[in-house]
Amino acid sequence: MKRLLLSVLCSVSLLAHAQQAPVPPATPQYRPGYHFSPAAHWMNDPNGMVYYEGTYHLFYQYYPDASVWGPMHWGHATSTDLVSWKELPIALFPDSLGYIFSGSAVVDAKNTSGFGKDGKTPLVAIFTHHDPKGEKAGTHTFQNQSLAYSLDAGKTWTKYAGNPMLKNPGIHDFRDPKVSWSEVAKKWIMTLATKDRITFFSSPNLKDWTKESEFGEKLGAHGGVWECPDLFPLTLNGKTHWVLIVNLNPGGPNGGSGTQYFVGSFDGHKFTPLNDKTKWADYGPDNYAGVTWANTGARKIFLGWMSNWEYANQVPTSPWRNATTIPRELGLRQVGSEIYLTSQPVKELAKLSPRPAVVLRNLKASTSAVNLTNRLQFTGDKFSLDLSTAQLRDFALVLSNTAGEELRIGYDAKARQYFVDRRKAGPSGFSTKFAGRHTTPRLATLPAADLTLFFDATSVELFADGGLSTGTELFFPSKPFTAIRLEAPEGMTMQRLAYSQLASPLLKQAD
């Protein structure tokens, strides 16, 4: 989230510089078309996501005074279809208790909090108050959990007079509460990131909290601090399993930020994993701090921050900086003895296709590259590709432009890895950590394979084998990619390759 460079970024000198710095030239060529990003300024973690009365509410970490990280607010956007978004006024502002860090929101349908009045159902936001003065003073109690509520379906918010409602017991990193109702325990359960582990709390009313258990001290990846957790059930073959998502920074599988997960059981008090294997929800470098929407029933819809703390403050976009991933529907799949989390683009994204796909069938590739540019009627920078083959072998799809830049996406059969290579995909001098070839292991074991790719101006999201293997990647070409070719040095047949141009829903502003 905000994290390793936090003390530096919080300094008065940097913030003053950020506010006074001239705005770089606008980069409309890099503006995503169907991924949410604010019209201007900095964003990071999506948080407080809740579905209510036909509307998806997206809150997010936002700094409205510059395009680098600063004092955190909760930005706010809404959608009725997960495709078109309307940017609304800021929902929560910093106050005397500190900045407004990440958290969650719930529909308190039973009015357990007592915030509801005149029959109005309260939406309740649970978030971390981060006190920069306490951090600067060297205390270990500068992060505490607080509440705010809305009685007008999320339009306006009132902070709870009793904030903070869960005080820090002396843990340096004590943040990012994800709250949900437990039918088993008949209580609210808070999943909280506490330094290098997760702590579970319970409450009957969202105001009074009791510690239940801890998880993860010696399990999973610990290359950085744990944060932005989520806990939810998913069903596989009629059996309910619980998934615990834990983001961490650094320590991701391809460097910097990453999102790991555990599959296990939860009895209302304690989470027990099926095993101690470290698994990743996305192997690419640019999917972080992802959590799910609340109040969507059995359907679990995930959204991440499409960047990496290694270079998030430096990516060359203006007047905005950073965006979210596309919404993804989560599921479970068993491969051998292991149960994995699957991630697929939500079905609503089909609305983005204004015309039928161009489909090539039984496309044979051999030692020489196959130019697909004209055959696919390839144009634009917002499109999807769907590929399927009965026998997966080495291959690469290569996007290129007249500047000699190219983005390579494919599969390495010997290593059993999908890859995205952005080393030659455009300027990367803004960070020594950006250029690279990043890999995603293939978890499926059958010879047949499918691959879906979503492109949007400066990003590609890879979903392989029904969402078993996923990777998210940014790139910044100096000119648009205008050509596409298929390379398969050992020969391969694509049973189907479909190309769909995607529309760009306009970001609406609040009235």
Residue 347, number of CB atoms within 10 A of its CB: 10
The 3-state DSSP class for residue 432 equals coil
d(CA 502, CA 350): 9
Joined together, the tokens standing for residue 375 give 């055959």
Domains and CATH numbers, the chain: 6-19+40-307+320-345 (2.115.10.20), 353-505 (2.60.120.560)
User: According to the model, what pLDDT value does residue 506 have?
Assistant: 73
User: According to the model, what pLDDT value does residue 509 have?
Assistant: 76
**In the predicted structure, residue 12 carries a pLDDT above the cut 50:** no
Q: Which burial class, exposed, middle or buried, applies to 253 when counting CB atoms under 10 A from its CB (0-12, 13-18, 19+)?
A: buried
Quick: pLDDT tens for 229-263. Answer: 999 999 999 999 999 999 999 999 999 999 999 99
The 3-state DSSP class for residue 219 equals coil
CB 52 within 8 A of CB 154: yes
Joined together, the tokens standing for residue 395 give 């291959």
User: According to the model, what pLDDT value does residue 24 have?
Assistant: 85
Q: What average pLDDT does the chain have?
A: 94
What's the pLDDT band for 19 if we cut at 50, 70, 90? very low
d(CA 27, CA 1): 25
How far apart, in Å, are the Cα atoms of 124 and each of 116, 129, 155, 376? 10, 15, 12, 48
The 3-state DSSP class for residue 456 equals strand
What's the pLDDT band for 13 if we cut at 50, 70, 90? very low
CB 126 within 8 A of CB 50: no
Active site residues: 45
What's the pLDDT band for 17 if we cut at 50, 70, 90? very low
The arithmetic mean of pLDDT across residues 307-311, rounded, is 98
What's the pLDDT band for 21 if we cut at 50, 70, 90? low
291-302 burial, b at 16+ Cβ within 10 Å, e below that, comes to: bbbbbeeeebbb
What's the pLDDT band for 507 if we cut at 50, 70, 90? confident
CB 246 within 8 A of CB 160: no
What's the pLDDT band for 511 if we cut at 50, 70, 90? low
